[in-house]
Amino acid sequence: MNIGIPKESLAGEARVAATPDVVRRWVAQGFEVLVAAGAGAAAHYPDSQYAEAGARIADQAEALGAEIVCKVRRPTTEEVAAMAAGAVYLGFVESCGEDEIVAAMLAREIHVFALERMPRISRAQSMDALSSQSNIAGYRAVIEAAARFGRFFPLMMTSAGSSKPARVVVLGAGVAGLQAIATARRLGAEVRAYDIRPETREQIQSLGAKPIDLDIGESGSGEGGYARELSAEAKARQQQLLADELAKAHVIVTTAMIPCRPAPVLVTEETVQRMRPGSVIVDLAAAGGGNCPLTERDRVVERHGVILVGHTNFPALVATDASAFYAKNLANLLALMVEKGEGGLAFKDFSADEITQATLIPAT
């Protein structure tokens, strides 16, 4: 049984689906691993390290034609055409509703395992790539904010005078938001955070931040630990109550996203106009339209004297570690999917386990 690791084709994607350490693990388990030439170069994993780990350096077509194809980002039409009929695909699919790419894969009887469908259960934590990459995004978002903010994050006292700590507000206390809080606190900032789910209050406090309590008339807790979309009335009240708190912030990191729905607007243009010149907003929801309507996808712009960062792929900015985390997630999932018998490695029944059952996109 062989595993193919293609080179990611999406512009700006520096991650790779497997690292030499994981390749070494797979080879020891009996897999043949085909790594496309240069697949790990952008993440600082040269071909020589993969070869030393036991992989065969192949071309892109060979990697895509393997029995098991591991990718980070959704495949293109051309990549799907290069996959073998009946193969297994492991990676993000980034799909909502009808999808031509997914339909093409299913038409070729490819078993599509979408990592964003990983259930939020204890057994699946080591396979939860969405959480591992969101964790990295939250960290890198704060680093980005600190680099673009023209003042210190911590309290600084020198012979030339002193400065107060930066006031950071994090909107959304999911995986990315909690890591953003922790990172901003480690950098010495004064941190406040808000989430529509009341159960996150204790988590915010445990990281040394102050929760922002708003009475919007309803809870935003949804299924599986995710937030649900608020009513129009609650959204309007939320914006109104948040405005004063946000206007006082030096840095805002927004992380509020609802699966397969536009990102909720939390930072209005009127609020941006009230912020101090030189303040920074890092909008982690830029791919979904942004939590601020002034955010521009994959651009850094200045509006009303405020810097807005709209990067949509923060994990790719920390590609070496992001790839290592992602590869371990994949390796743990694959270990659940295969077993060793007398004839060698074979797939288990995908419907027999709740994890593979949840991540497998059913044929229509």
CA distance 319 to 321: 6
- 353 in active site: no
From the candidates 25, 45, 74, 128, give the one annotated as an active-site residue. 128
In angstroms and rounded to an integer, the radius of gyration of the C-alpha atoms of the chain is 22
- 50 in active site: no
From the candidates 9, 48, 59, 125, give the one annotated as an active-site residue. 125
Q: For residue 210, give the nearest of 173, 244, 236 by alpha carbon.
A: 173
- Asked whether the CA dihedral 285, 151, 173, 134 is positive or negative, the reply is positive
- 194 in active site: no
CA distance 99 to 79: 15
Residues with Cβ within 8 Å of residue 252, at least 6 apart in sequence: 168, 169, 170, 171, 246, 267, 279, 280, 281, 282
Residue 202 one-letter amino acid = E
- 205 in active site: no
Q: For residue 225, give the nearest of 350, 156, 322, 128 by alpha carbon.
A: 128
Residues with Cβ within 8 Å of residue 202, at least 6 apart in sequence: none
Residue 229 sits at φ, ψ, to 5 deg, of -75, 135
From the candidates 226, 303, 321, 353, give the one annotated as an active-site residue. 226
- What region, left, alpha or beta, does residue 44 occupy, with left being phi > 0 and alpha being psi -120 to 50 degrees? left
How many other CB atoms are there within 10 angstroms of residue 293's CB atom? Answer: 12
141 touches 314 (CB < 8 A): yes
From the candidates 131, 134, 203, 239, give the one annotated as an active-site residue. 131
- 351 in active site: no
From the candidates 24, 120, 151, 201, give the one annotated as an active-site residue. 120
- Which amino acids are annotated catalytic? 120, 125, 128, 131, 226
